[in-house]
């Protein structure tokens, strides 16, 4: 019969398996029957995979590939159970001595539910606590083959990645758009082991030696007595430290520039900062710095927008990233390298490559693309992925090695160490998001939260009981090797090289490379931040640092603070500007940006329909703004006068002159001409104008412009046809903002 046949088949298959195991292939291999007398010298034929080898590394505990598209339902299965799998009858009422009685200690479901909840939070990151992450794919170009043996850079090779963007200072719930450095950490799950490129959106750092990291962070974090201000550098302790510790001045200049208030994670550059050592197949080395170049260009908010956003949409960057990915507008970056000869002095063009407060201008060493990254999937469980992801600059694949940069050296200790507290034990690499996609065959055992059930008795080397497995690999098997760099014979000493003493020349290089409007923003940022300090001595000391960088910068900030401008301590350095540092004067693709369209539901909506298509066709997102929600002329209204605010739009179009909504707030100074315009629409136009955004209007929409008095100013375009007006606005958006609108007073 059929069942009998099946049983017979199963029995035969099992017998075959047993025979296989008993076949003596190699002396010493399990089941070979030949006892091993000496330590084996060659790997035994592949043994069955152990629990911690491959297999689970790309899987979540429920078996799906990490980063797989979300399942339709959050909860699987028909019945609610306890953590032990017992089906539950009731989860809303605790077990009590009568309906009005006290709760019984025996209520195991209540205890399990509440205990788990009580322990849901883990310590937030000591820095970079606020962040957002996404999955994606990296594709190598093959252009780095002569530089490094790293397999993930080979032509066409695709590697899964997970990126986490962050701010540095704020707590986990702080606002996205504060003035701060942004983290840009990428985990490449390469076949040769995970590579973490843990960088920032600025190419330099505050300190030259990692031993000072607790100092700069204690100074930047909220004051220890009142724990304010949150996620801000505009306070005494920060400026106390950076004015005393002038090697921070270059990084601070980047913070005070527009780079400190990125428009979007998608529009940020990234930098590995340190110099790394690349090793090719022949064992030859070069020194290199990593750069990420965003396809959408480098864009920033203006300060007022950043401040408004912190209140109106503190999740702005997170929302922007996830909205873009979910709508299919996948953000892209090219990974690039600047390459330098690996000379014994480790300098290039007189710049010390081990000093993380220095850049090498792109004009001196070209930035060469070696691959492309596309972020195409949002996390499905923020805690499991974004919160638990653990980066470490010491996660390196063969072909990429570290240098003696003293900042990097300290980081190599800190990142591993911090996870022990944050993720509660040494087994954090077994958390799904952290599992390598390369097969893991380590001899690490036990520890809190051990997930693997290891077989065998020989987690040590050398062994004979496991046939000598696992063996160490050589170059042919793609082993990581530490470059045998010669370490100079030198006294043991707590000191820096003399080249590290130059703290001002590159801050000056940055300042001198800015356009007048960017310089203006820098002046205003310093003036604001120092204006929030209470201690006069700190302001004066920082003005001295600014005088050492540039007398004009110092004079302007001093004037804003109402203080005298000091003289430079020494003549300021002569620098050659690096145009690549400026964000102004270039044309960027408009892709992925947002256009607000004010519509009159009673007006000509046919025009709006065509316009909406044109905006989509340009790779941008149109958001219709109307007096009420729902539909207007058959099109969805995404923002009302109550919910729309200028800060989320990169440009504004006025397609009509809608009547004020019934909930319009009173306007005290409404001029007769304004009476027909909702004050919130006037505010939209005024703010967009103030933030130097392109504004376009046609037909009845032009009357709204007239009411605000901005008609005819730079970047405000009007016309009869929507099509023509939009074409002009699109052209203006290539420059990101209408820079002429900012009164640049720096000469
Ligand atoms: Fe760091 C997190 C970037 C210097 C110690 N760092 C952290 C993150 C980024 C950076 C992006 C967040 C990673 C994530 O999203 O999980 N850090 C940098 C850069 C530095 C730098 C670009 C200089 C070039 N960091 C630095 C030093 C130390 C640390 C000198 C300590 C000696 N950093 C840490 C840390 C963190 C961290 C305490 C907190 C959470 C974590 O590591 O996982 O270990």
Separation of alpha carbons 465 and 374, rounded Å: 46
Same domain, 424 and 319: yes
- Residue 125: both structure tokens together: 């990151």
Separation of alpha carbons 92 and 83, rounded Å: 16
- Residue 277: both structure tokens together: 């050592």
pLDDT in the model for residue 242: 98
pLDDT in the model for residue 9: 57
Ligand 1, residue 133: give the atom nearest the CA.
Answer: 15
Nearest residue to 519 (alpha-carbon basis) of 234, 527, 205? 527
Separation of alpha carbons 618 and 650, rounded Å: 14
SS (H, E, C) 319-357: HHHHHHHHCCCCCEEEEEEEEEECCCCCEECCEECCCCC
Cβ neighbours of residue 156 closer than 8 Å, sequence gap 6 or more: 139, 140, 142
- Contact assessment for residue 255 and residue 180, using Cβ atoms and an 8 Å cutoff: yes
pLDDT in the model for residue 68: 46
Same domain, 553 and 602: no
- Residue among 414, 424, 429, 433 to mutate when testing ligand 1 (max atoms within 8 A of CB): 414
Nearest residue to 262 (alpha-carbon basis) of 376, 151, 178? 178
Task: Please say which residue of 581, 610, 640 terminates a domain.
Answer: 581
Rounded average pLDDT per 10-residue block, the chain, 747 residues: 49 51 43 59 62 39 44 69 94 97 97 96 98 98 98 98 98 98 98 98 98 98 97 98 98 98 98 98 97 96 97 96 92 98 97 98 98 96 97 98 98 97 96 95 94 90 91 91 90 95 97 96 98 98 98 98 97 95 93 94 92 94 95 95 94 93 75 70 95 96 90 94 96 95 74
Residues 534-584 have pLDDT tens digits of 999 999 999 999 999 999 999 999 999 999 999 999 999 899 999 999 999
Distance 275 CA to ligand 1 centre (A): 16
CATH of the domain at 675: 3.40.50.880
Same domain, 353 and 423: yes
Separation of alpha carbons 475 and 472, rounded Å: 10
Same domain, 402 and 307: yes
Answer yes or no: is 304 within a domain. Answer: yes
In three-state secondary structure terms, 133 is: strand
Q: Whose CA is nearest to atom 30 of ligand 1?
A: 210
- Contact assessment for residue 184 and residue 270, using Cβ atoms and an 8 Å cutoff: yes
- Contact assessment for residue 56 and residue 435, using Cβ atoms and an 8 Å cutoff: yes
Same domain, 610 and 637: yes
pLDDT in the model for residue 53: 39
Answer yes or no: is 456 within a domain. Answer: no
Distance 115 CA to ligand 1 centre (A): 32
CA-to-CA separations, 465 to 445, 456, 461, 645, in angstroms, rounded: 17, 9, 10, 69
Per the structure, the complete domain to which residue 353 belongs is given by 131-205+264-434
Same domain, 629 and 721: yes
pLDDT in the model for residue 105: 96
Task: Please say which residue of 434, 450, 471 terminates a domain.
Answer: 434
Ligand 1, residue 407: give the atom nearest the CA.
Answer: 30
Pairing of β 368-377 and β 270-271: unpaired
Separation of alpha carbons 125 and 569, rounded Å: 39
Distance 415 CA to ligand 1 centre (A): 7
Answer yes or no: is 611 within a domain. Answer: yes
CATH of the domain at 572: 1.20.1370.20
pLDDT in the model for residue 30: 45
Domains: count for the chain = 3
pLDDT in the model for residue 497: 95
Same domain, 175 and 270: yes
Q: What's the first-to-final CA gap in the chain, in angstroms?
A: 97
Pocket of ligand 1 (CB under 6 A): 125-128, 131, 164, 166, 183, 185, 198-200, 205, 210, 213, 273, 356, 389-391, 407, 410-411, 414-415, 418
Q: What is the CA radius of gyration of the chain?
A: 30
Beta bridge partners of 347: 352
Distance 391 CA to ligand 1 centre (A): 8
Distance 130 CA to ligand 1 centre (A): 13
- Residue 362: both structure tokens together: 């792109």
Compute the C-alpha angle 11/17/22, nearest 5°. 125
Nearest residue to 653 (alpha-carbon basis) of 686, 624, 690, 696? 696
Ligand 1, residue 211: give the atom nearest the CA.
Answer: 32
Residues 270-326 have pLDDT tens digits of 999 999 999 999 999 999 999 999 999 999 999 999 999 999 999 999 999 999 999
pTM (2 d.p.) = 0.91
Ligand 1, residue 415: give the atom nearest the CA.
Answer: 44
Task: Please say which residue of 513, 547, 581 terminates a domain.
Answer: 581
User: Annotated catalytic sites, by residue?
Assistant: 128, 200
Same domain, 599 and 552: no
Same domain, 643 and 542: no
Exposure string of 112-133, with b = 16+ CB inside 10 Å and e = fewer, is: ebeeeeeeeeeeebebbbbbbb
Same domain, 560 and 603: no
Q: Whose CA is nearest to atom 4 of ligand 1?
A: 411
- Contact assessment for residue 397 and residue 150, using Cβ atoms and an 8 Å cutoff: yes
What is the residue whose two structure tokens read 């990296």? 138
Q: Whose CA is nearest to atom 27 of ligand 1?
A: 411
Nearest residue to 401 (alpha-carbon basis) of 391, 412, 410? 412
pLDDT in the model for residue 12: 57
Answer yes or no: is 489 within a domain. Answer: no
- Residue 651: both structure tokens together: 């440009």
Same domain, 147 and 278: yes
pLDDT in the model for residue 666: 78
pLDDT in the model for residue 611: 95
Answer yes or no: is 49 within a domain. Answer: no
CATH of the domain at 172: 2.40.180.10
SS (H, E, C) 627-658: CCCCEECCEECCEECCCCCHHHCCEEEECCCC
Same domain, 365 and 397: yes
């Amino acid at each position: 019969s059929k069942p009998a046949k099946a049983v017979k088949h199963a029995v035969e298959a099992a017998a075959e398996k047993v025979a296989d195991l008993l076949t003596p292939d190699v002396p010493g291999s399990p089941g070979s029957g030949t006892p091993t007398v000496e330590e084996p010298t060659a790997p035994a034929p592949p043994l069955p995979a152990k629990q911690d080898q491959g297999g689970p590394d790309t899987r979540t505990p429920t078996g799906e590939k990490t980063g797989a598209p979300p399942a339709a339902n959050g909860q699987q299965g028909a019945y609610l159970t306890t953590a032990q799998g017992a089906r539950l009858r009731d989860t809303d009422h605790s077990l009590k001595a009568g309906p009005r009685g006290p709760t019984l200690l025996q209520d195991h479901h209540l205890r399990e539910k509440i205990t788990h909840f009580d322990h849901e939070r883990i310590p937030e990151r000591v820095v970079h606590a606020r962040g957002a992450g996404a999955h994606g794919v990296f594709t190598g170009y093959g252009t780095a083959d002569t530089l490094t043996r790293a397999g993930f850079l080979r032509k066409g090779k695709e590697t899964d990645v997970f990126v986490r963007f962050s701010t540095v200072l704020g707590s986990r719930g702080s606002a996205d758009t504060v003035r701060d450095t942004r983290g840009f950490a990428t985990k490449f799950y390469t076949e040769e082991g995970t590579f973490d490129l843990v960088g920032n959106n600025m190419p330099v750092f505050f300190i030259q030696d990692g031993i000072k990291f607790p100092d700069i962070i204690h100074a930047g974090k909220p004051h220890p007595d009142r724990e304010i201000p949150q996620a801000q550098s505009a306070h005494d302790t920060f400026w106390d430290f950076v004015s005393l510790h002038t090697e921070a001045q270059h990084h601070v200049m980047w913070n005070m520039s527009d780079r400190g208030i990125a428009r979007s994670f998608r529009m940020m550059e990234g930098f590995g900062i340190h110099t790394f050592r690349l090793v090719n197949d022949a064992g030859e080395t070069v020194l290199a710095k990593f750069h990420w170049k965003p396809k959408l260009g480098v864009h920033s908010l203006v300060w007022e927008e950043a401040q408004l956003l912190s209140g109106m949409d503190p999740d702005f960057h997170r929302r922007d990233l996830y909205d873009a990915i979910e709508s299919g507008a996948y953000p892209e970056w090219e990974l690039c390298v600047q390459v330098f000869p690996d000379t014994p002095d480790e300098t290039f063009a007189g710049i010390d490559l081990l000093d993380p407060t220095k850049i090498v201008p792109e004009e001196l060493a070209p930035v060469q693309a070696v691959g492309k990254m596309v972020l195409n999937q949002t996390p499905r469980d923020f805690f499991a992925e974004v919160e638990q992801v653990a980066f470490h600059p010491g996660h390196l694949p063969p072909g990429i090695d570290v240098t003696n940069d003293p900042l990097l050296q300290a980081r190599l200790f800190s990142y591993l160490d911090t996870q022990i507290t944050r993720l509660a034990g040494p087994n954090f690499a077994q958390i799904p998001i952290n599992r390598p996609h390369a097969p893991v065959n380590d001899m690490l055992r036990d520890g809190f939260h051990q997930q693997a059930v290891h077989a065998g008795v020989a987690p040590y080397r050398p062994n004979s009981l496991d046939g000598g497995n696992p063996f160490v690999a050589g170059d042919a098997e793609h082993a990581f090797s530490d470059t045998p760099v010669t370490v100079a014979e030198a006294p043991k000493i707590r000191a820096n090289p003399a080249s590290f003493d130059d703290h001002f020349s590159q801050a000056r290089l940055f300042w001198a490379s800015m356009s007048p409007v960017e310089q203006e923003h820098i002046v205003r940022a310093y003036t604001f931040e120092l204006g929030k300090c209470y201690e006069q001595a700190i302001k004066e000391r920082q003005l001295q640092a600014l005088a050492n960088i540039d007398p004009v910068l110092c004079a302007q900030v001093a004037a804003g603070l109402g203080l005298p401008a000091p003289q430079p301590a020494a003549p300021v350095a002569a620098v050659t500007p690096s145009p690549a540092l400026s964000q102004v004067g270039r044309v960027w693709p408009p892709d992925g940006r947002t256009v607000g369209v004010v519509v009159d539901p009673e007006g000509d909506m046919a025009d709006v329909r065509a316009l909406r298509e044109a905006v989509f066709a340009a790779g941008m997102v149109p958001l219709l703004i109307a007096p009420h929600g729902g539909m207007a002329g058959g099109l969805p209204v995404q923002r009302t006068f109550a919910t729309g605010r200028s800060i989320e739009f990169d440009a504004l179009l006025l397609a009509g002159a809608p009547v004020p909504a019934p909930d319009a707030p009173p306007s005290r100074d409404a001029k007769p001409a304004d009476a027909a315009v909702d004050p919130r629409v006037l505010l939209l136009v005024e703010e967009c104008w103030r933030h130097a955004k392109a504004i376009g209007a046609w037909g009845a929409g032009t009357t709204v412009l007239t009411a605000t008095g901005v008609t005819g100013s730079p970047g405000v375009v009007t016309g009869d046809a929507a099509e023509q007006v939009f074409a002009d606005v699109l052209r203006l958006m290539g420059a990101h903002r209408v820079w002429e609108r900012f009164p640049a007073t720096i000469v």
